[in-house]
Amino acid sequence: MAANAHTVAVDDETYVERLAHDVAVWQHEGLISAEQERAILSRIGAGEPRLVGALRMGWLVTAVSLIGALVLAGGVVLLFASQWREMPDWFRTAVVFAGMFAAYAGGYLLTYRYGMDRIGGALLLLGVLLFEAGLFLFADIYGLPLTTANDEQPAPQYFLLAAIGTLPLAYAFGSRIVLLFGIGNFVISVIFWLIARYAETEKADSVLIVIGVLGVALYAAGHLHAMRAAWEKFGEVYLFVGTVVTLALVYVFTFDEPWRSIIDDGIESYAAPAVVYVSIAIAAALVAAQFATRARDLEADIETGILAALLAVAAVVSTWPAWTGYAVVFNAVFFAAAAGIVTRGYLRGDERYVNFGLLLVAVGVLTRYVDVFWSLLTNSAFFIIGGVLLLAVAFGLERLRRTLVARMDEEASTGDTRARAPALHSGAP
């Protein structure tokens, strides 16, 4: 009960701080006037300028704390790397445990004794970083291989163990940054495992599909988190990672090279290994489960349809991979996804989706420009035309973005605040 009250208080505080930060951005962009900014701040009880400053500083403290944790962990690992061999095994083992315990104890004391959630959270992250570093250091101390059987990639099992050890901490203490770290480790372990297992076989290209399917599965898992109110905020992390992983693979497949390589390697139809179909089946089950548990509305239907279509494309591509036309298909998928994300941002009144979608459009256009014209134009013409094109794209995107955001704002001010409220409450993905 006490823990719930604490969580609610922290969420309220986070919301107020985020709002104080956002209204400053909106005012800077001309979406709201200085008077409207002050009115909003007064409404949340932060009308007094020094209080506003203090609220906005909260984000700075979070950012500085997280960077501090990352830098400190990096420094410790570098220290170990440079002095490591000279220390006796027992001392090195003790140092790993002592570092972890100190970070967790510090995080606990700062959070629960002194109410300094942000720095305490950063120390929890530091503990997790030291835990993962400890896995690799222990392997090094005790002579276990740090690389795969071909000695080319880091051994995936340590990333998997890091994910297994990290995820309970993320859920137990409601830390999205730790969750992001845990999911990231899981994704990396899958990628390295696939490379190690299939890199030297003719099936190497087709198993890349598994990474995209993993992205879809994570996305569906994100929606499944909505089943439990306490886990809802974790869902956003899964949605974010799922989107990034899937789009990263789609992006790779927008190039001709992977498809040419598949044809050159003589990969035939029906040659994909079982892991591809097993992963598609698992992802399909998760997509079906999230559809069954979600409230039925047009957005849920469309989203599920897109996820199912992506899995169908994955199944078709892995079964009949030898066709260069897939590059065009994946370009279409990439730009459709970008357009979909912009549309979603517009409909939800969430500027973050709009910005992310437009960023994808820019990346897609730039990539195709480089891909097509690098070999056709002289260097100077390539850069001059490219520069002009970039400026034109930036101009067009900024105009589009401002139009969309302004329309969102108009709709919000004419009373349709229902769509806007969740956007304000939701944290960064």
Partner 1 sequence: MSELFSRPLPKLIAVVAFQVLILLSVLGFREYTLLTRDTVLLKLQTTDPQTIAGSDSRPVRYEISTVDVAALPGDDEFMHYVYVELGERSDGTWQPLALHNRRDRSYDNAVLIKSDYSYYGGSVGRERYTLRYGIEDVYVPDDAAASLPSGSGHTIAVEVKVDRFGQPEPVRFLINGEPYELEER
Per CB under 8 A, does 91 bind partner 1? no
Out of 134, 349, 364, 429, the residue judged to bind partner 1 by CB under 8 A: 134
Q: Among all chains, which residue has been given the structure tokens 């690992």?
A: 77
Per CB under 8 A, does 112 bind partner 1? yes
CA–CA distance, 69 with 79 (Å, rounded to integer): 15
Query: Which residue's CB is nearer to partner 1, number 26 or number 173?
Result: 173
Per CB under 8 A, does 142 bind partner 1? yes
Per CB under 8 A, does 96 bind partner 1? yes
CA–CA distance, 233 with 425 (Å, rounded to integer): 10
Query: Which residue's CB is nearer to partner 1, number 107 or number 345?
Result: 107
**Would you call 335 exposed, middle or buried from its count of C-beta atoms within 10 A (0-12, 13-18, 19+)?**
middle
Query: Which residue's CB is nearer to partner 1, number 18 or number 233?
Result: 233
Per CB under 8 A, does 139 bind partner 1? yes
Query: Which residue's CB is nearer to partner 1, number 199 or number 252?
Result: 199
CA–CA distance, 405 with 352 (Å, rounded to integer): 10
**Would you call 161 exposed, middle or buried from its count of C-beta atoms within 10 A (0-12, 13-18, 19+)?**
middle
Out of 19, 95, 135, 237, the residue judged to bind partner 1 by CB under 8 A: 135
Residue 114 neighbours by CB under 8 Å, 6+ apart: 120
Per CB under 8 A, does 151 bind partner 1? yes
Maximum CA pair distance of the chain?
Answer: 70
Out of 15, 26, 84, 108, the residue judged to bind partner 1 by CB under 8 A: 108
Out of 145, 387, 422, 427, the residue judged to bind partner 1 by CB under 8 A: 145
Q: Which stretch binds partner 1 (CB under 8 A): 21-29, 135-143, 209-217, 327-335?
A: 135-143
Per CB under 8 A, does 73 bind partner 1? no
Query: Which residue's CB is nearer to partner 1, number 109 or number 281?
Result: 109
Query: Which residue's CB is nearer to partner 1, number 150 or number 293?
Result: 150
Q: φ, ψ for residue 229 (rounded to 5)?
A: -55, -40
Beta strands in 32-168 (DSSP E): none
CB of 126 to partner 1, least distance (A): 13
SS3 (DSSP) at 115: coil
Write the DSSP string, 331-383.
HHHHHHHHHHHHHHHHHHT-HHHHHHHHHHHHHHHHHHHHHHHTTTS-HHHHH
Out of 30, 88, 143, 266, the residue judged to bind partner 1 by CB under 8 A: 143
CA–CA distance, 253 with 188 (Å, rounded to integer): 19
- Quick one: tokens of 125? 């992250």
Write the DSSP string, 404-418.
HHHHHHHHHHTT--T
Residue 336 neighbours by CB under 8 Å, 6+ apart: none
Cα of first residue to Cα of last residue in the chain, in angstroms, is 27
Out of 7, 33, 42, 150, the residue judged to bind partner 1 by CB under 8 A: 150
Q: Which stretch binds partner 1 (CB under 8 A): 92-100, 234-242, 273-281, 353-361?
A: 92-100
Q: Among all chains, which residue has been given the structure tokens 């974790």?
A: 234
CB of 185 to partner 1, least distance (A): 12
Q: Which stretch binds partner 1 (CB under 8 A): 7-15, 68-76, 167-175, 379-387?
A: 167-175
Write the DSSP string, 2-35.
HHHHHHHHHHHHHHHHHHHHHHHHHHHHTSS-HH
- What mask, x for binding partner 1 by CB under 8 A, covers residues 176 to 205? ------------------------x-----
Out of 173, 320, 323, 373, the residue judged to bind partner 1 by CB under 8 A: 173
Per CB under 8 A, does 127 bind partner 1? yes
CB of 4 to partner 1, least distance (A): 9
CA–CA distance, 13 with 305 (Å, rounded to integer): 37
Out of 79, 149, 285, 391, the residue judged to bind partner 1 by CB under 8 A: 149
- Quick one: tokens of 278? 């097993």
Query: Which residue's CB is nearer to partner 1, number 93 or number 343?
Result: 93
How many residues touch partner 1 under the rule CB under 8 A: the total is: 32
Query: Which residue's CB is nearer to partner 1, number 131 or number 193?
Result: 131
CA–CA distance, 125 with 111 (Å, rounded to integer): 13
Per CB under 8 A, does 152 bind partner 1? yes
Per CB under 8 A, does 75 bind partner 1? no
Residues that bind partner 1 (CB under 8 A): 3, 96-97, 100-101, 104, 108, 111-112, 127, 131, 134-135, 138-139, 142-145, 147, 149-152, 161, 164-165, 168-169, 172-173, 200
